[in-house]
């Protein structure tokens, strides 16, 4: 706030407060001319459009309540920010109040979290209250991609099955959440050519137990053993260290519903895939990640 | 209705002589009201008042001590946002009941006011009741009206100090019990009171107890009729509820005037002589003893007519009737009567538009309230469809939707619920497979969240958007059932087949 407006507000505030006080005190008494005649009802002498005011004095405690509220306002303005740029004697700010409240909330939460943080994830996965907390944190932070039950979506892995792209042990789950994951499936379109892509896709269909053309699959097997085997392994089991998915379990990460599965697979081979799990170590405190991991771990344990 | 200041209450005003010898009176527009010393007189309305407020006061102090199944029977649990009222637990979503209750209270007040005037004020308002108790404490230690006036006029002495101290002690003690009981409606009183004696009471509970103690003390000890006169809105809008057939405390002016004192020996004679005596003097029945003014808790003179200060407590009727009896006059110079009876001598009229209208509305509202409360289902079902995905296709070729099902058991006992799903509208043309727990145990007052999924084989999909109803029913009480409608979304085009 510029000095002018700060001064403007201060001056107006004081004019209003002291003006009200002056108005109140100056009009405390009124003078009436003439003696009160016998039987006459006392009036204040105030006349408005011929309407006269009877003398019905207000209780004195009203007067003192008015004075009290003016005094309160002055003390308040002295202690708290209110007069333009003046900071107030207490140095109160919204930010400080927020910080204090967050601090208090954290202390309460720490008590709850610390009990869970000391317990192993595998044990937490059997604790309903820990799972309830974990599920809430999961639903707030993870369900945007992985769905409210962790069932995943096209391009986002299903966390409730026992198929893991990067490993499903508690430690691996914690690592995936904390550091994030970055998949690198290169584009093979230029290398394989369109026919090569079709052949490889048929071979992959055969690995996954889907319908396939055996001639094309046989040709595709050759390409597979040359280009794909390094990451996806000879039997298509994949490699969790690299995040190369298992191609032989009929679970498909990229399976857009408006095209057929084989078209989806061909797209993956042709253009590559760069699935990315963002890191949450900087967004969520370790105790929360611990609880989320327990919840995710429990999903894979119950939904075998 | 206008206040005519009684000569008794007028304060002496400073007078100054102006230059032209004209009198100028200086009026102070704010004045401290004189303390009202009420005289204690037994009588019919005083005992009615006692019987009216005693059960209510006992209720106020004892209800928090009742318990049902180990829980306080009436407990407004603000922290958990549950109101326990005997066998009913009200949740925040039951707020309309509170609104309805307030509307019913308002209409009950209108009806009673139209019928009997401000009897609420005089016979049962806490302001009147607590003031009455505080005055009784004063009376106990300081004596009746005249003694109290004399005591207050005396300079301070050991006797005066000890009497005043005793009054203050009992005022504060009673205020404290009042405040503690009030807080006991919100914090379980059976823990609150022992905590207090062990000095383990929570800071918040202590704050509210002390605040209500202080307010009760100031209110019933000092503010008293000032609240009725200047704070309570009821006095100010009573006139819109009154009509000429409303029972009001009124002075029979025709019979009472010309008021005036008369010789004492006339009193000892019989009724006829007494009457003859007053006729000789040209006087009405009012002996101008001012007892009606002395007993009035708001310090008014009822002989000035109906005033907004009048709280219809009937104490002036008791006072006047006692005098009338001594004078051998018939009672009822001041009486609960109607304007019509007083002026035209007509009998009390029940059938008048306003009373009929008020009572009809009141009866309707009460009926509706009881009906709503009796059909209230203490079970809430909420279904949240997965907000991020329309649907998911499973490797097995099923289309799947996920939902978060929330079941809130608002009953006072644990329940086991069965969950089922059905399509809304046309008969189950699409068979959904329900994946999730089919029965769930929910403890009393608990909300549980569970993940449920619906699946359908792709070739069975007929519509992209189907309404589905999730039905939750108690396994033991089939009437305890509630449902919520959501949607099943699926791709219509037969796709994703190899």
Tell me whether residues A260 and B226 touch, CB distance under 8 A. no
Residues in B touching A59 (Cβ below 8 Å) = 30-33, 226, 229-230
Residues A199 and A229 in one domain: yes
Size of the A and B interface in Cβ pairs below 8 Å? 126
Higher model confidence: residue B297 or residue B460?
B297
Instruction: Give the pLDDT score at B264.
Output: 65
Residues A258 and A112 in one domain: no
Asked, for residue A32, whether it belongs to a domain, the answer is: no
Tell me whether residues A148 and B32 touch, CB distance under 8 A. no
Q: What percent of chain A has pLDDT over 90?
A: 61
Q: What is the mean pLDDT of residues A231-254?
A: 91
Instruction: Give the pLDDT score at A187.
Output: 94
Tell me whether residues A258 and B495 touch, CB distance under 8 A. yes
Residues A197 and A266 in one domain: yes
Tell me whether residues B388 and A28 touch, CB distance under 8 A. no
Q: What would you report as the CA-atom Rg of chain B, rounded to the nearest whole angstrom?
A: 34
Q: Which residues of B140-178 are buried (b: 16+ CB within 10 A; e: fewer)?
A: ebbeebeebeebeeeeeeeeeeebbeebeebbeebbbeb
Instruction: Give the pLDDT score at B10.
Output: 47
Distances (CA, A) of B274 to A65, B33, B207, B253, B322: 53, 39, 62, 19, 15
Instruction: Give the pLDDT score at B4.
Output: 45
If pLDDT is split at 50, 70 and 90, which confidence band does A11 have?
Answer: very high
Average the pLDDT over each of A42-56, A104-118, B16-30 and give the range with the smallest value: B16-30
Look over chain A and give the mean of its residue pLDDT values, rounded to a whole number: 90
Instruction: Give the pLDDT score at B9.
Output: 44
For residue B178, is pLDDT > 60? yes
Instruction: Give the pLDDT score at B184.
Output: 95
If pLDDT is split at 50, 70 and 90, which confidence band does A304 have?
Answer: very low
Average the pLDDT over each of A283-287, B23-27, B351-355, B449-453 and give the range with the smallest value: B23-27
Residues in B touching A148 (Cβ below 8 Å) = 384, 386-388, 402-404, 451
The full set of domains in chain B, from first to last, is: 1-376 (no CATH), 379-489 (2.60.40.10)
Domain that holds residue A149: 99-182+278-302
Candidates A51, A135, A147, A156, partner chain B, best to mutate (most B CBs within 10 A): A147
For residue B267, is pLDDT > 70? no
Asked, for residue A56, whether it belongs to a domain, the answer is: no
The burial class, CB within 10 Å (0-12 / 13-18 / 19+), for A199 is buried
Residue among B396, B390, B400 at smallest CA distance from B496: B396
For residue A136, the chain B residue with the least C-alpha distance is B449
Tell me whether residues A57 and B10 touch, CB distance under 8 A. no
Residues in B touching A30 (Cβ below 8 Å) = 26-27, 29
Instruction: Tell me the shortest Cα–Cα distance from B397 to chain A, in angstroms.
Output: 10
Q: Could you please report the per-residue DSSP string of A215-280?
A: HHHHHHHHHIIIIIHHHH-TTS--BTTTTBPPSSSS--S---TTS-HHHHHHHHHHH-B--EE---
pLDDT digits (tens, 9 = 90+) for A16-26: 999 999 999 99
User: Which residues on chain B place their C-beta less than 8 Å from a C-beta of chain A?
Assistant: 2-5, 10, 18, 22-33, 226, 229-230, 384, 386-389, 391-393, 395, 399-400, 402-404, 449, 451, 453, 491, 493, 495-498
Alpha-carbon gap, residue A70 to B11, rounded angstroms = 28
Higher model confidence: residue A14 or residue B9?
A14
Tell me whether residues B386 and A147 touch, CB distance under 8 A. yes
Tell me whether residues A144 and B388 touch, CB distance under 8 A. yes
Residues A132 and A243 in one domain: no
For residue A153, the chain B residue with the least C-alpha distance is B392
Residues in B touching A210 (Cβ below 8 Å) = 498
Asked, for residue A17, whether it belongs to a domain, the answer is: no
pLDDT digits (tens, 9 = 90+) for B109-164: 999 999 999 999 999 999 999 999 999 999 999 999 999 999 999 999 999 999 99
Residue among A166, A163, A174, A128 at smallest CA distance from A242: A166
Residues A165 and A229 in one domain: no
Candidates B27, B300, B400, B459, partner chain A, best to mutate (most A CBs within 10 A): B27
pLDDT digits (tens, 9 = 90+) for A90-128: 999 999 999 999 999 989 888 888 889 989 999 998 898
Asked, for residue A216, whether it belongs to a domain, the answer is: yes
Alpha-carbon gap, residue A145 to B28, rounded angstroms = 75
Instruction: Give the pLDDT score at B28.
Output: 87
Residues in A touching B451 (Cβ below 8 Å) = 148-149
Residues in B touching A143 (Cβ below 8 Å) = 386, 388
Highest mean pLDDT among A1-15, A135-149, B266-280: A1-15
Residues in A touching B491 (Cβ below 8 Å) = 257-258
Closest Cβ opposite residue A56 in set B3, B25, B399: B3
Instruction: Give the pLDDT score at A43.
Output: 84
Say if CB B291 and CB B38 are below 8 A apart: no
Instruction: Tell me the shortest Cα–Cα distance from A301 to chain B, in angstroms.
Output: 15
For residue B2, is pLDDT > 60? no
Residue among B421, B251, B253, B242 at smallest CA distance from B332: B251
If pLDDT is split at 50, 70 and 90, which confidence band does B426 have?
Answer: low
The answer for A 152-181 residues in CB contact with B (under 8 A) is 152-153
Strand B439-442 vs strand B415-423: parallel, antiparallel, or unpaired? Answer: antiparallel
Count of the separate structural domains present in chain A: 2
Q: Which residues of B393-421 are buried (b: 16+ CB within 10 A; e: fewer)?
A: bbbeebbbbbbbbebbbbbbeebebebeb
Residues in B touching A260 (Cβ below 8 Å) = 495-498
Residues A178 and A193 in one domain: no
Closest Cβ opposite residue A260 in set B230, B449, B497: B497
Alpha-carbon gap, residue B400 to A93, rounded angstroms = 50
Highest mean pLDDT among A55-64, A166-175, B237-246: A166-175
Instruction: Give the pLDDT score at A40.
Output: 79
If pLDDT is split at 50, 70 and 90, which confidence band does B496 have?
Answer: very low
Tell me whether residues A34 and B22 touch, CB distance under 8 A. yes
Asked, for residue A297, whether it belongs to a domain, the answer is: yes
Task: Rounding to the nearest 10 degrees, give the CA dihedral for residues B8, B14, B20, B21.
Answer: 60
If pLDDT is split at 50, 70 and 90, which confidence band does A292 have?
Answer: very high
The answer for A 124-143 residues in CB contact with B (under 8 A) is 132, 135, 139, 143
If pLDDT is split at 50, 70 and 90, which confidence band does B493 have?
Answer: low
Instruction: Tell me the shortest Cα–Cα distance from A44 to chain B, in angstroms.
Output: 7
Residues in B touching A258 (Cβ below 8 Å) = 491, 493, 495-496
Higher model confidence: residue B237 or residue A77?
A77
For residue B396, the chain A residue with the least C-alpha distance is A250
Residues A174 and A126 in one domain: yes
Highest mean pLDDT among A196-200, B394-398, B441-445: A196-200
Tell me whether residues B386 and A148 touch, CB distance under 8 A. yes
Residues A269 and A285 in one domain: no
If pLDDT is split at 50, 70 and 90, which confidence band does B26 have?
Answer: confident
Residues in A touching B5 (Cβ below 8 Å) = 41-42, 55-56
Asked, for residue A41, whether it belongs to a domain, the answer is: no
* Cα–chain center distance at B146: 35
For residue B7, is pLDDT > 50? no
Closest Cβ opposite residue A28 in set B10, B30, B391: B30
Asked if A56 is an interface residue toward chain B (Cβ–Cβ < 8 A), one would say yes
Residue among B39, B57, B403, B372 at smallest CA distance from A151: B403
Closest Cβ opposite residue B498 in set A33, A152, A211: A211
Tell me whether residues A147 and B389 touch, CB distance under 8 A. yes
Instruction: Tell me the shortest Cα–Cα distance from B126 to chain A, in angstroms.
Output: 22
Residues A110 and A257 in one domain: no
Say if CB A268 and CB A253 are below 8 A apart: no
Residues A143 and A267 in one domain: no
**Whole-model pTM?**
0.78
Q: What percent of chain B has pLDDT over 90?
A: 51
Which residues is B89 bridged to in the sheet?
Answer: B84
Residues in B touching A58 (Cβ below 8 Å) = 29-31, 230
Residue B326 DSSP SS3: helix
Tell me whether residues B395 and A54 touch, CB distance under 8 A. no
For residue A49, is pLDDT > 60? yes
The answer for A 89-128 residues in CB contact with B (under 8 A) is none
Asked, for residue A51, whether it belongs to a domain, the answer is: no
Residues A266 and A197 in one domain: yes
Highest mean pLDDT among A44-53, B58-67, B461-470: B58-67
For residue B496, the chain A residue with the least C-alpha distance is A260
For residue B93, is pLDDT > 70? yes
Asked, for residue A109, whether it belongs to a domain, the answer is: yes
Residues A284 and A265 in one domain: no
Tell me whether residues A148 and B402 touch, CB distance under 8 A. yes
For residue B281, is pLDDT > 90? no
pLDDT digits (tens, 9 = 90+) for A247-287: 998 889 998 877 888 999 999 999 999 999 999 999 998 99
Closest Cβ opposite residue A30 in set B29, B226, B395: B29
Interface confidence: ipTM more than 0.90: no
Closest Cβ opposite residue A147 in set B402, B493, B495: B402
Closest Cβ opposite residue B495 in set A55, A144, A257: A257
Q: B361 CB contacts (<8 Å, ≥6 apart)?
A: B107
Residues in A touching B24 (Cβ below 8 Å) = 31-33
Angle in degrees, 0-180, between the axes of helices A128-141 and A94-117, rounded to the nearest 10: 130
Instruction: Give the pLDDT score at B266.
Output: 57
* CATH code of A290's domain: 1.10.760.10
């Amino acid at each position: 706030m510029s000095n002018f407006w700060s001064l403007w507000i201060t001056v107006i505030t004081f004019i209003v407060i002291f003006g009200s006080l002056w108005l109140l005190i100056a009009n405390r008494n009124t003078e009436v001319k003439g003696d009160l005649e016998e039987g006459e009802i006392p009036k204040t002498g105030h006349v408005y459009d011929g309407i006269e005011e009877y003398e019905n004095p207000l209780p004195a405690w009203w007067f003192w309540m008015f004075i009290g509220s003016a005094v309160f306002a002055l003390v308040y303005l002295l202690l708290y920010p209110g007069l333009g740029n003046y900071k107030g004697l207490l140095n109160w700010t919204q930010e400080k109040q927020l910080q204090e409240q967050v601090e208090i909330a954290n202390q309460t939460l720490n008590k709850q979290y610390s009990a869970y943080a000391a317990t192993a994830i595998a044990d937490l996965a059997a604790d309903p209250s820990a799972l309830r907390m974990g599920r809430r944190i999961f639903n707030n932070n993870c369900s945007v991609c992985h769905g409210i039950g962790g069932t995943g979506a096209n391009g986002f892995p299903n966390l409730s099955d026992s198929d893991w792209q990067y490993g499903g042990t508690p430690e691996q789950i914690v690592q995936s959440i904390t550091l994030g994951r970055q998949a690198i499936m290169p584009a093979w379109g230029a290398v394989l050519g369109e026919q090569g892509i079709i052949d490889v896709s048929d071979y992959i269909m055969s690995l996954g137990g889907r319908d396939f053309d055996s001639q094309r699959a046989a040709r595709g097997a050759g390409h597979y053993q040359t280009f794909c085997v390094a990451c996806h392994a000879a039997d298509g089991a994949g490699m969790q260290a690299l995040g190369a998915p298992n191609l032989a379990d009929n679970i498909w990460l990229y399976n857009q519903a408006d095209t057929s599965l084989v078209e989806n697979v061909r797209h993956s081979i042709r253009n590559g895939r760069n699935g990315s799990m963002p890191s949450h170590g900087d967004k969520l405190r370790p105790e929360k990640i611990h609880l989320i991991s327990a919840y995710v771990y429990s999903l894979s344990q119950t939904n075998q | 209705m206008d206040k005519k200041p009684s000569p008794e209450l007028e304060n002496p005003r400073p007078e100054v002589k102006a230059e032209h010898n004209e009198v100028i009176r200086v009026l102070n527009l704010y004045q401290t009201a004189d303390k009202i010393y009420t005289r204690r007189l037994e009588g019919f309305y005083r005992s009615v008042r006692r019987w009216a407020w005693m059960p209510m006061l006992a209720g106020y102090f004892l209800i928090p001590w009742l318990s049902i199944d180990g829980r306080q029977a009436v407990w407004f649990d603000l922290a958990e946002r549950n109101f326990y009222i005997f066998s009913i637990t009200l949740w925040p979503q039951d707020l309309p009941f509170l609104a309805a209750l307030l509307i019913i209270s308002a209409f009950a007040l209108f009806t009673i006011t139209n019928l009997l005037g401000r009897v609420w004020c005089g016979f049962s308002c806490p302001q009147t009741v607590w003031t009455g108790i505080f005055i009784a404490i004063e009376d106990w230690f300081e004596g009746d009206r005249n003694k109290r006036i004399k005591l207050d006029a005396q300079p301070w002495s050991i006797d005066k100090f000890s009497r005043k101290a005793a009054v203050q002690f009992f005022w504060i003690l009673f205020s404290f019990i009042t405040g503690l009981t009030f807080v006991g409606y919100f914090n379980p009183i059976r823990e609150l009171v022992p905590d207090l004696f062990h000095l383990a009471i929570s800071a918040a509970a202590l704050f509210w107890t002390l605040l209500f103690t202080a307010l009760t003390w100031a209110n019933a000890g000092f503010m008293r009729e000032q609240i009725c006169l200047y704070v309570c809105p009821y006095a100010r809008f009573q006139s819109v509820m009154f009509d000429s057939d409303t029972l009001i405390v009124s002075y029979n002016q025709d019979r009472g005037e010309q008021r005036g004192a008369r010789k004492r020996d006339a009193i000892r004679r019989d009724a006829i002589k007494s009457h003859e005596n007053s006729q000789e003097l040209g006087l009405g029945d009012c002996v101008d003893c001012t007892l009606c003014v002395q007993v009035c808790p708001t310090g008014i003179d009822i002989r000035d007519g109906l005033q907004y200060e009048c709280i219809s407590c009937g104490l002036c009727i008791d006072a006047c009737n006692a005098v009338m009896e001594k004078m051998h006059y018939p009672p009822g110079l001041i009486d609960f009567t109607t304007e019509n009876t007083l002026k035209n001598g007509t009998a009390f009229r029940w059938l008048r538009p306003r009373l009929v209208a008020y009572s009809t509305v009141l009866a309707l509202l009460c009926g509706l309230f009881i009906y709503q409360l009796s059909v209230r289902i203490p079970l809430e079902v909420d279904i949240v469809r997965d907000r991020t995905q329309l649907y998911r296709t499973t490797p097995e070729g099923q289309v799947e939707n996920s939902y978060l099902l929330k079941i809130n058991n608002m009953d006072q006992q644990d329940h086991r619920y069965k969950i089922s799903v059905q399509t809304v509208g046309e008969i189950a043309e699409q068979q959904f497979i329900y994946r999730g727990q089919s029965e769930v145990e929910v403890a009393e007052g608990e909300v549980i969240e569970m993940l449920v999924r619906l699946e359908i084989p792709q070739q069975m999909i007929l519509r992209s958007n189907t309404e589905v109803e999730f039905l939750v029913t108690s396994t033991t009480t089939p009437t305890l059932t509630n449902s919520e409608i959501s949607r099943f979304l699926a791709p219509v085009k037969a796709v994703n087949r190899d």
